[in-house]
């Protein structure tokens, strides 16, 4: 019998995506949308305990998260001879397996599969036939749209502000982030290299200072 759910289980969202600088233009609005809608992103790069095997860390994040976001848009190699990336589909498989454990709270798990186009990843991962993902077209605004709509359709959030409003809030946040971090002495390079955990902290503080609540619970 698996143990009971983690206290934050129903609000945790496991993020399975690349964490390199080439993906940060999508990751930042994705993180903002998740926090803005009242949820808590869980990412493997948040802790850097070298003594813990990465795969065990990922499994513990999957188990403590009711929701997951898997972005398969970067599994394609760019150059001839370059190996394609297997971590993301592998972690999706781990998540799916947890969800299929016959009893216990892990049966409640739900996930969103994102891709650049609606069906490109299915050509490489035909086992996903019948599982509908959402495309982001490598556009940050479309990622916000896909994620916000998934929270309504699948997480059953009763009400959320429009994708446009969330996007405009994100640009307001980036204005303040730009000014306040500059005042704190951060350079452009520092901002690019900022640990994701620290970035999430700035998002949370900013959202906590907003004048009113903008979402309704599930």
Partner 1 sequence: MKSKKSQQVVPNLSGGWSVKSYGSTRAFKTFDTQGEAVAWARSKSKREGLDLYVHGRDGMVRYKNSYRTVPSSPQHGNGRK
- The footprint of partner 1 (CB under 8 A) covers 24-26, 28-29, 139-142, 145, 161, 163-165, 167-172, 174-180, 206, 209-210
Minimum distance between the CB of residue 139 and partner 1, rounded to whole angstroms?
A: 8
Considering beta carbons, is residue 92 or 166 the nearer one to partner 1? 166
Nearest residue to 76 via CA among 23, 120, 135: 120
CA distances from 86 to 92, 112, 118 (A): 10, 18, 19
Which CB sits closer to partner 1, 5 or 137?
Answer: 137
* Residue nearer to partner 1 on the CB measure, 59 or 207: 207
Phi, psi of 181 (to 5 degrees): -70, -35
Q: Which is nearer to partner 1, 29 or 89 (CB)?
A: 29
Write down the least CB distance from residue 208 to partner 1, Å.
Answer: 11
The number of beta carbons lying within 10 Å of the beta carbon of residue 192 is 10
Task: Please enumerate, as own/partner, the contacts of 150-154 that have beta carbons within 8 Å and a separation of 24 or more.
Answer: 150/112, 151/37, 151/39, 154/110, 154/112
CB of 30 to partner 1, least distance (A): 11
Compute the least distance from the CB of residue 214 to partner 1, in Å.
10
Phi-psi region of 125 (alpha: psi -120 to 50; beta: other; left: phi over 0): beta
Which CB sits closer to partner 1, 127 or 176? 176
To partner 1, the closest distance from the beta carbon of 140 in angstroms equals 5
HSE of 53, CA atoms in CB hemisphere, 13 A: 3
């Amino acid at each position: 019998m698996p143990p009971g759910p983690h206290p934050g289980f129903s609000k945790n969202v496991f993020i399975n995506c690349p964490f390199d600088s080439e993906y940060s233009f999508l990751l930042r609005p994705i993180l903002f949308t998740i926090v803005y809608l009242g949820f808590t992103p869980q990412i493997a790069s948040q802790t850097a305990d070298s003594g813990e095997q990465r795969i065990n860390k990922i499994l513990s994040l999957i188990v403590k998260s009711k929701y997951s976001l898997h972005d398969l848009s970067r599994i394609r190699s760019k150059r001839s001879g370059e190996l394609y990336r297997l971590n993301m589909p592998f972690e999706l498989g781990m998540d799916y397996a947890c969800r299929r454990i016959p009893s216990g709270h892990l049966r409640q798990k739900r996930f969103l599969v994102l891709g650049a186009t609606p069906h490109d990843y299915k050509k490489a991962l035909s086992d996903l036939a019948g599982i509908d993902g959402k495309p982001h077209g490598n556009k940050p605004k479309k990622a916000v749209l896909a994620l916000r709509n998934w929270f309504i359709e699948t997480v059953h959030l009763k009400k959320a502000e429009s994708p446009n409003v969330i996007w405009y809030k994100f640009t307001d946040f980036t204005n303040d982030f730009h000014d306040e971090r500059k005042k704190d002495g951060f350079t452009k390079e520092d901002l690019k290299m900022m640990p994701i955990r620290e970035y999430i902290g700035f998002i949370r503080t900013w959202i906590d200072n907003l004048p009113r609540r903008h979402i309704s619970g599930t």
